[in-house]
Amino acid sequence: MNIMKFDAFTHYKALFIAICIVLLCLNISVNKGFQKQSHEQNPNAFTIPAQVMEHVSLGYNNFSATWMWFKTIAYYGSHTESTNYSYLAHELHSIVQLNPTFEPVYYMAASVFPWGMNNTSLSRAFVLKAMIAFPNDWRWAYYRGFNSYWFDHNSEVAAHYFELSSMKPNAPALVTSLALRMHSHAGNIQTGLNFLKGLLQKENDPKLQTQLLKQYRQLQTEQQLRAIEALLAKLPQRHLDMSDLKQLRQMAYKMPTKLADGGMIQMLKDGSLLSSKAKKRFKLFIPKKRQGVGNHVAH
């Protein structure tokens, strides 16, 4: 008897959901023109709070999340030139409330919001949620780091998240290099060196240790060159050649005979320094169109 009651309840529950979906689809198709006009005037009038959706879904959270996803991308596809990002964020938030591991939402939030708004104000929370939902996936901390640098011009925050990303399983070596260059760009070379030192202590693979040690010496070399350039800036007169280094030695400043990477100090025509081994500085590449945009440091 109880089994029959349970089966009947399940049957009516499924029937109720099916009827709701049919009625909703009919409502969308029949009143499409009216909804489009009304939605543009007040998009939030067509939103359902995430907490309510959890009850309305009657336990079919994943199904409801998928249905809401198709509804959301349909909206975005028809409003790419006039997207209401607050409404879009609300809909995406409702989906991950129903299903916290719905990856497409996080991908969309990590890309559409920052590129559409030119900042990370809306994408930030979604990427942090993704980091919690997928704790071993290096990509989410990487997205947070990239967006912090590219859109918020914050090298210090970017370095922090690139560090987190680099310590996740299967993270490519490039992420470690990005973290170091961000630290260098933000003026936190010692922080980058400490980070590398920690990695060297944990890493047992000889090949990876060799790569990390090479980067450690490159970063040390950059630190040495910056320290020497700071001293050169104090000279009363500069000749922009090796005689400037001679002046520093005469003033009792100690100059290394060899830099950390094994190279010798070289001076370019503009007075800047290089290592004879690396032939280039350990700097962050900034495309021409991004040069001068923001200050690329922490706010």
Residues 258-285 pLDDT 10s: 999 999 999 999 999 999 998 899 877 6
Cα separation of 228 and 232, whole Å?
6
For residue 166, what pLDDT is reported? 93
For residue 148, what pLDDT is reported? 93
In this predicted structure, the answer to whether residue 216 has a pLDDT above a threshold of 50 is: yes
Cα separation of 283 and 296, whole Å?
13
For residue 14, what pLDDT is reported? 57
For residue 46, what pLDDT is reported? 46
Question: Which residues are CB-neighbours of 158 under 8 A, at least 6 positions away?
Answer: 145, 146, 148, 149, 178, 182
What is the mean predicted confidence (pLDDT) over 59-74? 78
What is the mean predicted confidence (pLDDT) over 193-197? 91
Cα separation of 284 and 183, whole Å?
9
In this predicted structure, the answer to whether residue 241 has a pLDDT above a threshold of 60 is: yes
Evaluate whether 161 touches 148 at the Cβ level (below 8 Å): yes
Q: Where are the beta strands (DSSP E) in the chain?
A: 265-267, 273-275
Query: What confidence category does residue 288 fall into, taking pLDDT thresholds of 50, 70 and 90?
Result: low
Query: What confidence category does residue 4 fall into, taking pLDDT thresholds of 50, 70 and 90?
Result: very low
Q: Which residue has the tokens 């009143």?
A: 31
User: Rounded to whole angstroms, what are the CA distances from 237 to 93, 160, 162, 229?
Assistant: 61, 39, 41, 14
- Nearest CA-CA partner of 275 in 235, 230, 229: 229
| Number of other residues whose CB lies within 10 A of the CB of residue 254 | 7
Query: What confidence category does residue 211 fall into, taking pLDDT thresholds of 50, 70 and 90?
Result: confident
Evaluate whether 227 touches 190 at the Cβ level (below 8 Å): no
Residues 72-110 pLDDT 10s: 888 887 877 788 999 999 999 999 998 999 999 999 999
What is the mean predicted confidence (pLDDT) over 131-156? 94
Residues 15-33 pLDDT 10s: 555 555 554 554 444 444 4
Query: Phi/psi of residue 241, each to 5°?
Result: -145, -175
For residue 292, what pLDDT is reported? 59
What is the mean predicted confidence (pLDDT) over 123-152? 95
In this predicted structure, the answer to whether residue 120 has a pLDDT above a threshold of 80 is: yes
